[in-house]
Structure 1
Amino acid sequence: KKDGAEKNYYLYNVCDHEKCYAEVGSQAVAYTTGVPAMIGAMMVMTGKWRKPGVFNVEEFDPAPFMDALNRWGLPWQESHDPVLVD
């Protein structure tokens, strides 16, 4: 909800299998699995995601992670009012 009203928000990445294979010798599914895991580890190791206690990655500030996705070849798009299919 935003301002008391229901709000749909869609965030996505489109990755081309052929371009991915040419770059890293693997298909896009492996790339889109490995790169976010590497970025998460980088956030922890560099201290960008660090606070006392035990936390899921979803509980940390997403901004540095999202910026890193763009830098590491997984640019993302966003739609503020996507058409939903029942």
Structure 2
Amino acid sequence: MSRKSVRHTVEKVSRGLPELNTCITINENRGSSALSKLFENRIWKIGQVAEYTGYSIGTLYNLTSQDLIPHRKKRGKLFFKPLEIENWFEEGDI
């Protein structure tokens, strides 16, 4: 690749960066508002954990049955603490 074509490519990418940054910011803001609403709850049910992690509900049931994810079980229902799930998810133990 010649210097001229490299310079042209760099200029082309540079011109597109402001637009790209705007798209990224918009998507981050959408995601952060959904996450902040999710973290308003002190206790999550399995559907909320699925929403946060991106895992299917079936996968989450498998993880809880193997005690691979922090959870509580009361009268046959599963409950999760958001901060425990966040820490577990960031550790990447799976």
TM-score by length of 1: 0.29
TM-score by length of 2: 0.27
Higher RCO (C-alpha under 8 Å, 6+ residues apart): 1
